[in-house]
Every structure is written in structure tokens, then in C-alpha cells.
Structure 1
Amino acid sequence: MTYRRVPDEDAIAQGRSGATKVVRQVKDPVEGRTVNIFTYTAESIDIGINFLRAQYAGIFDALTNVLRQSLIRVEVAFMLTPWPVLVGLAMILAWAYCGTGTVVFVGSSLTFLAVFELWQIAMQTMALVVVATAICIFVGLPVGIWMAKNRIANWVTEPILDVMQTIPSLSYLVPAVAFFGISQPPAVLATVVFAIPPMVKLTALGIRQVPQSTKEAALAFGASERQLLMKVELPMAVPSIMAGLNQTIMLALSMATISAFIGAEGLGAIVTAALGDAQAGKGLLAGIAIALVAMVIDRILKGIRSSLSRI
């Protein structure tokens, strides 16, 4: 016969009580009440956020307006262009850089969006992805170059990027809503923060991988540091930069879908609504549409990257 020791419930209860007492030994300096450390820290963060929102309201409002206007312009451009034109352009890109199979896949995938009347909704998602990706390129390229050229910058920035890639995607929505409310602009900012690390890291990697002999040859022929960067390092780093762009767009598309929780429009909003109403059919069709858009972008960008790497 085997005996199993049963834990002493009284001891467990006393342990929990003791732990609770330890946790609650934090006094609120304002109200004088006793709170646990989690609540105290959370309330302190809320106070700091409210202070920043009140202190820099003009900056937050200006940034919100810029992002909103950018989204509107890109979305209008997509909406005013007939869907067969955009499908044709995508197929031309696929034909130029990929194979015949990719051309057929791109055409059929994008036609799926039009047939199921998801085209305009998908263009709302694409507008958010385009704006967020443009910001990632505008910020990520210089930071990546800085990391590649400066050891201290690399030492400081790389752990931050690692943490940014580790934090769950939903966590980015919380500070975005705290500072900007529920709307499209905070969805763009959350998408940028979530999607920018690959752009920065692979830009720095591409520049570091330029052979030292090539750089020395350029300098020997009288190239300045600026010319070395613009005419040697960046062109040779293009395949790595394109890989970073590919990953950034994929992450932006996934985050644009999740951002429906804070007011982002597009395919993610359909998925969120279907989840709340238990409408499996709508959610499945919207999910297929998101997957097809991601696959189309991925195939075309991989073809472009392969072509550039052969140059």
C-alpha cells in the first residue's frame, strides 16, 4: 500500500495569509490607506499617464491629427482605384519578379476579396499597414544605420528591441489607448512599435555584413563616409533590408488585425465582431482574407528580394 502525504490545509492558509500581509505593507502616501504593491504601482502609473496627457495634450492631438489625415489619404487612394486595376498591378509585379504560379495565386487570392465583397474592408486594413510600414522605414532605417556604425548605440538599442519583440502584441494596445484613446491613430502607433524591430535589426545586420575589403577599397579610391554609406554599404545591404521590410509588413498586418480591439477598421473588425457574436462563418471568411493578403505580400516581396540578391 502506498501512502501519500496530504498537505496541511491550516499551514497553507497561514502561508497565504502571511504572504498577503507582506504584500499589503504599502501605504498610499496621499490617502494613507494600505494597498498591495500591484495596486499601488498601477495607480502610480495611471497618475503619471494622466499627468503626461494633460501636460502634452497639444503634442498628442497634433500627432493624432497627422496620423488620421495620413490614413484617410491612403485609404481614399485605395478606395478610388478600381479593384481590377490594383489586382492587375499586383499580378504585373508577380510576373516581373516571381513565377507564373505566383501570378495565378496573386490574381485568384485578390479576386477572392472582391467576390466576397471584402475588398473595401481589406483596403482599410492595407491603409493602416501602409502608413505604419512607412513610419517603420522612416524611423527604422536611420536607427539601424546608427546601430551598425556605433557600438554604444548597438549596446543600448539591441536589448530594447529584444524586449519589444518579446512583449505580447496585445500589451501594446494598452499604452496606445492610455495616451490617444480608442481610434485609428493609436492603432497605427501600436502597430509601428510592434513591427519596427525587424526593420532596425536587419538593416544593421546588412550593413555589418558588407565585406571589410570592399569598404577599404572604396575608401582607398577617395570615397567619403557618406559616399561609402550611400553607394556601397546600403546597396549591398538591400537584400537584408528587404528581409526586414518583409517581416515588418507581416507583423504590421497581424497587429492591424489585433488593433480592431481599440477601434481599428478593416478585416480585424470583422473577426472581432464575429468572435463576440459567435459567428464562425464571418470570422472564417475574414481570417482567410487576412491570410491571403499576407501570403500575396510575402510572395511578391520574396521575389523582389531574390531578384535584388542576384544583381
Structure 2
Amino acid sequence: MGVFPDISTNLGDYVARFVDFLDESFEGLFNFIYLFSTQIINGIEGFLVWMPWWLLILLVALLGWYFKSISSGILYGVFLFLIGTFGLWEDLMTTIAIVMTAVIISLAIGIPLGVWMAFSKGFSTVMRPILDAMQTMPSFVYLIPAIFFFNLGNVAAIFATLIYAVPPVIRLTELAIRGVNKEVIESAESFGSSKWQMLLKIQLPQALPTIMAGVNQTTMMALAMVVIASMVGAQGLGEQVLVSINQIDMALGFEAGISIVFLAIIIDRITGGVADKLQKHRRAS
């Protein structure tokens, strides 16, 4: 009976050498990413902590009223108030800061890549299997390079979240750009519009509702990584869930878990409401 050759050790060695090469060759870049991400997180968290709790609740309630309904706005405000009564307000601010930072970086990377894929079939062909791998790879695998390059902490959590959360906005941006009415594009070309003019004044505005759906999905996937990211030192609500598991604390686990659910509902409904508003405006025009 034949035996398969053992290539696992050699393959693992090659991967380890490649990672060491990246760490040594791009140490300055990783340090810059670390400092940049830290500044963004600290800035957002500092602003949220500085803001009076009642003002943040009022702003969220107003957003819920504007994009959904009055009852929805009141409900979102109640959700935030309950999180505060659990004693998890500062953890909530940290979680929001981490999610917002991950989403901002994801959009800064994902939307341009999606536009590029829409205009280049070759690049799209190359990127699609990469995006498939990023979405299907177990989330815990992302934690290994995150720890290696950025050590434990919030930055490592953002790196792992970024890999998991960026594919939806890339895919939906490409889909949105490709789905713009060809008659509108041909009309713009007949008036002598350049590619940049068509992109900025026609294609992106027409594609914005679908892109916002991608923003919604990216935000929800970033929030889904909150608990997993706590395993690499991320603070916030996910850390409290991890603590409750280690201590078998049912009360803390329920409060931290339901707080994440409340936050997910608020983010999903408001970002979904933005997409709906844009879609209605597009149809009306």
C-alpha cells in the first residue's frame, strides 16, 4: 500500500519564511499601520467618551427617526440606554471605535478595488478567487498573522476584521458599477464625457444605493468579528463576553451578548435605511 509523500513540513517552512520576509522587509509599513490605526481608534473612542451619553442617545434616536420611523428612533435610544444601565457604556464606545475604524479602512480599500474590478475583467478574474478565500477561510485563521505583525491589541483585531469584512463592499461595488444603465453611459459618451467624469458624475451616483448595501454588509461583518477579535486582545464588548466565558458568568455573558445584539440592530437598521433612502431618491429622479 503506497504512502503519500509528506510535504506538509516543507510547505509550512515556505510559508513561515515568507511571513518572516514580509515582517523584515515591510517593518516600517507595519509600524505605520499600527500607529495610524491606533490614532484613529483613540480619536474616535476619545470623542465618543467625551460626548455626553444623553447626546449620543439623542443623535441615534434622531437618525433612527429620519431613516426609519419615530418608533424605531425611540427603540434605538432605549437600546443604548439599556446598555448604559448594564455598566457597559465605555466598552460600547470602544467597540464602536474598533468597528468604525475597520469599516473606514475597509471602504477606503474596498470601493476603489471594486471600481477597478468593474473596469478590468482581468483584474476581476484574479480577485474573485482571492475574495472567495477571504470569505470562506475560518475567521480564527486571520488571528495568526494579526498577532504576528501587530502583537496583541486593538490593531491586530482591526487587521483580522479587515480581511473578513472587506469582500462584501468590493463585490457589491463591482456589481453596482457594472449594473449602471448602459443607455445613460452611452448618452454621456455622446456628449464627450471622459471616463473620470462618467465615473464621478454618473456611475457612482447611480450605483450608490447598491454600494451602501455593501457598506451595510461590511459593517455587520466587522461587528460579527468583535467577540473573535477579543481573543487577540481587542477590548470592548467582545472582551466582556470572553471574560464571562472564562468565569462562567451567566449575567455578564447575557448583558454583553445582548448589548452586541442591540448594537447590531441599530447599525443594520440605520445603514439599511440610508440605502433605502438613496434607492427611493434614485427612482424619483
| Interval containing the TM-score (normalised by the shorter chain) | over 0.9
Say yes or no: does 1:125 pair with 2:125. Answer: no
Q: Could you give the per-residue CA deviations for residues 143-202 of structure 1, whole angstroms, max 9, x where no partner exists?
A: 010111111111111111111111111111111112222121111111111100011010
Q: Could you give the per-residue CA deviations for residues 95-125 of structure 1, whole angstroms, max 9, x where no partner exists?
A: 1111122112211111111111111101101
Match of 2:161 among 175, 191, 208: 191
Q: Quote the Cα distance in structure 1 between the aligned partners of 2:31 and 2:63.
A: 38
Say yes or no: does 1:110 pair with 2:91. Answer: no
Match of 1:82 among 46, 49, 52: 52
| Equivalent position SS for 2:234 | coil
8 Å Cα contact 2:114/2:171 also seen in 1: yes
Q: Quote the Cα distance in structure 2 between the aligned partners of 1:58 and 1:153.
A: 28
Q: Quote the Cα distance in structure 1 between the aligned partners of 2:18 and 2:119.
A: 35
Q: Look up the match of 1:7.
A: none
Q: Look up the match of 1:165.
A: 135
Say yes or no: does 1:307 pair with 2:277. Answer: yes
Match of 2:220 among 229, 250, 257: 250
Q: Could you give the per-residue CA deviations for residues 218-246 of structure 1, whole angstroms, max 9, x where no partner exists?
A: 22222221111111110110110010000
How far off is 1:43 after superposition? 3.8
8 Å Cα contact 1:246/1:298 also seen in 2: yes
Identity of aligned residues (%): 36
8 Å Cα contact 2:92/2:236 also seen in 1: yes
Q: Look up the match of 2:42.
A: 72
Aligned pair count? 281
Gaps of 5+ in 2: none
8 Å Cα contact 2:229/2:238 also seen in 1: yes
| Equivalent position SS for 1:137 | helix
How far off is 1:132 after superposition? 0.7
Say yes or no: does 1:48 pair with 2:34. Answer: no
Q: Quote the Cα distance in structure 2 between the aligned partners of 1:51 and 1:162.
A: 26
When the two structures are superposed, what TM-score results if normalisation uses the length of structure 2? Answer: 0.94
Return closer, same or farther for 1:281/1:206 CA change in 2, 3 Å cut-off. same
Return closer, same or farther for 1:45/1:222 CA change in 2, 3 Å cut-off. closer
Q: Look up the match of 1:277.
A: 247
Q: Could you give the per-residue CA deviations for residues 41-97 of structure 1, whole angstroms, max 9, x where no partner exists?
A: 334423332343233322222221111111111110111011111111111111111
Say yes or no: does 1:96 pair with 2:62. Answer: no
Q: Look up the match of 1:291.
A: 261
RMSD of Structure 2 on Structure 1 (CA): 1.5
When the two structures are superposed, what TM-score results if normalisation uses the length of structure 1? Answer: 0.86
8 Å Cα contact 1:125/1:257 also seen in 2: no
Q: Quote the Cα distance in structure 1 between the aligned partners of 2:85 and 2:255.
A: 12
8 Å Cα contact 1:49/1:179 also seen in 2: no
Q: Quote the Cα distance in structure 1 between the aligned partners of 2:11 and 2:239.
A: 33
Aligned partner letter, 2:135: Q
Please identify the structure whose Cα radius of gyration is greater. Answer: 1
Say yes or no: does 1:217 pair with 2:192. Answer: no
Question: Post-superposition, which runs of at least 4 consecutive aligned residues in structure 1 deviate over 6 A?
Answer: none
8 Å Cα contact 1:257/1:266 also seen in 2: no
Aligned partner letter, 2:204: L
Q: Quote the Cα distance in structure 2 between the aligned partners of 1:56 and 1:301.
A: 36
Q: Quote the Cα distance in structure 1 between the aligned partners of 2:8 and 2:252.
A: 39
Q: Quote the Cα distance in structure 2 between the aligned partners of 1:161 and 1:52.
A: 21
Q: Look up the match of 1:260.
A: 230
Q: Quote the Cα distance in structure 2 between the aligned partners of 1:219 and 1:67.
A: 41
